[in-house]
A and B are shown apart, each in its own frame.
Chain A
Amino acid sequence: MSQAPHSLATRLGRLLLPNPILVASGTFGYAREMDGVINLSRLGGIVPKTVTMAPRVGNPPPRTVETSSGMLNAIGLDNDGLDHFLDHHLPYLRTVGCPIILNFAAKAEAEFPQMAQKASKVEGLSALELNLSCPNVAGGIDFATRPEACERAVRSCRDACPDLPILAKLTPAVTDIVAVAQAAAAGGADAVSLVNTFPGLVIDWKRRRPFLGNGVGGLSGPAIKPLALRCVWNVARACPGLPIVGIGGIGCIDDVMDYLVSGASAVQMGTVNFYDPCAAIRVIEALPEALATLGVATVAQAVGAACGWKPQG
């Protein structure tokens, strides 16, 4: 207990978080569902389920299927729209006692600044996270596959909502994620969230059709951790000074530390909330001891601790 409480605090550009453990969009509902299941006020932040300008009914079921150490989902951004979120969910989220990061997606480029502007006028949001990369919506992945489109989307939100920090959530399904991350930074992102799910497919060969109602989906869970970690590592080494939120297969304190030393300043825990709903709290409790094991006093000192590594010989 020699750690000062502030040793867990971490910074993503203009966004200061009490600790680096967030819960990922689409894996925590609108948080109300988890009220009383865990102590929400202890989280470093909550990223509620993606909202869109207009309500979306979502994809036909089945929407998820388990895979080896992972799961494939195609929910399809089932949500009741931004206005409903602001009227119905945000008043509750304001009472939770941890930072709330609004995650939103746009059907067309012009919707991004419209939504950001609406968000700029309400109380209770700590930051915006742009879902530039939902794989389950037509066109959704495009904003983060082309650097110039990514930069434009981020800049338009930054201009429309200058006072809130902006996180750009990127897809790993690109040849060069560093280029997209640099574009997000150029557009004014405070940080990049790396990464969204990996596009995947589960097929039912006996029925001659994909298992999911949508056909393809996004892969998440422990299976993707090495793939996602490599994205974080590559961006961290190429873009020093660009804060990174690591996402992908994080379920325990060792996973968190792997991401921190690889260059993430914070992490989002996602699929684990489905099968181990107390995991995020357990990880927060384990963090001081893990930092001590690493020989550092603060989260900031752990961030990127492995990034100076060079291959021998």
Chain B
Amino acid sequence: MTNACRPSFHGATVLSNTLIAERTWRVEIQVPELARISQPGQFFMVRLPGRTDPLLGRPFALCDVLPDQSGIAIVHMVVGRVTGLLANIQPGDPLEIWGPLGQRFPEPVAGARRVALVAGGIGQTPFLAHVRELLGSQGFGGHAPRRRVETVDFVYGARTANLHAGVDSFRDAGAIVHLATDDGSAGIHGRVTDVLSGLEKPDHVFGCGPEPMLHALAKQCVAMGIPCHLSLETPMACGLGICYSCVVKVRDDTSASGWDYRRVCIDGPTFAASDLVDFVSADRD
């Protein structure tokens, strides 16, 4: 397991901190060591240095690798103390960051021409880099760019239009953007699953967002017979696999119960929806 892609810990510097939607910030962090090796679907732990309160790092998906590979970008929404403090950081401020963590997104199924990336709220963050990779506009982890699919539909739901963050970035990256809002203020008045039903059937779906949305998406994809992978976020202390906090029930045919807890940080964060027993079972929701 010892190789260049093992996680490493860095004292890093903030390059920029930009408000891109209501309470939603894009933070660019100078850390070339991680920019060179991180791949879409992986994440980082970010911590505010020099203090013990807040104590722990927080997980953030790789949103973008800067074109000159000098650093990475994360996007976050202010929901708690750490994100509240992160909203006030300035260029030049120090941050502690370790990664890359977890597994990259799996490749689309063989022969896939059309992939749908389905995001709810701040669950959009892992998908910008994913669009760039799928359409071959950028290579990651030292790999040359390579187009994987013809079309990427980006289905992006939010409570209201002001929370749709970085939509132009997704369009500029080449995705076909389909918006949905709970209040009808942008895109269709409804849910991401409603949008997905109206699209040309994708060959593979990737989802990230609130759990109820992922449950609905998982069931929809199972019903439609579409391979589906979900990127999860669970409460996490270390990101490294040593604390056993972030577990989720994953199908395990060797276990008497049919499932076992798996660590989202190292076995995930992306799982096949069909393996997430609580997501696809009929007795939930």
Using CB atoms and an 8 Å cutoff, list the residues of chain A in contact with chain B: 26-29, 32-37, 49, 57-58, 61-66, 68-71, 73, 75, 78, 221-222, 251, 271, 273-278
Contacts and interface: CB of A to CB of B under 8 A. Distances in A.
A222 B52 contact: yes
Contacts of A62: 234-235, 245
Contacts of A58: 244, 247, 261
B242 A66 contact: no
A66 B236 CA distance: 10
Contacts, number: 107
Contact of A61 (B1, B57, B96, B234): B234
Given A35-B1, A66-B55, A277-B238, 16 more contacts: A27-B243, A29-B242, A36-B2, A36-B6, A37-B240, A58-B247, A61-B248, A69-B55, A71-B237, A75-B244, A75-B245, A222-B55, A275-B47, A276-B9, A276-B47, A277-B9
Nearest to B57: A275
- The 4 A-B pairs of least Cβ separation, nearest first, read A36-B6, A33-B241, A274-B238, A29-B242
A260 B7 CA distance: 32
B8 interface: yes
A35 B235 contact: no
Interface of B: 1-3, 6-9, 47, 52-57, 96, 98, 234-235, 237-238, 240-248, 257, 260-261, 266
Given A32-B1, A35-B6, A221 B52 contact: yes
Contacts of B238: 273-275, 277
Contacts of A222: 52, 55
Contacts of B234: 61-62
A221 B238 CA distance: 13
B243 A35 contact: no
Contact of A49 (B3, B9, B244): B244
Contact of A63 (B57, B242, B247): B247
Contacts of B9: 37, 276-278
11 contacts: A29-B241, A32-B1, A61-B248, A64-B235, A66-B54, A71-B55, A71-B237, A251-B52, A274-B240, A275-B56, A276-B9
A73 B237 CA distance: 10
Nearest to A74: B245
Contact of B242 (A69, A273, A276): A273
A226 to B, nearest CB: 13
A40 to B, nearest CB: 10
A36 B244 contact: no
Contacts of B244: 26, 29, 49, 58, 63, 75, 78
Contacts of B241: 29, 33
Contacts of B56: 66, 71, 274-275
A61 B55 contact: no
A217 to B, nearest CB: 11
A58 B245 CA distance: 10
Given A61-B234, A61-B247, A71-B237, A28 B242 contact: yes
B245 A63 contact: yes
Given A66-B54, A69-B55, A57 B260 contact: yes
Given A37-B6, A66-B55, A277 B240 contact: yes
B249 to A, nearest CB: 9
Nearest to A32: B1
Contact of B240 (A33, A75, A251): A33
| Of listed B6, B53, B96, B242, residue having the most chain A CB within 10 A | B242
Nearest to B1: A35
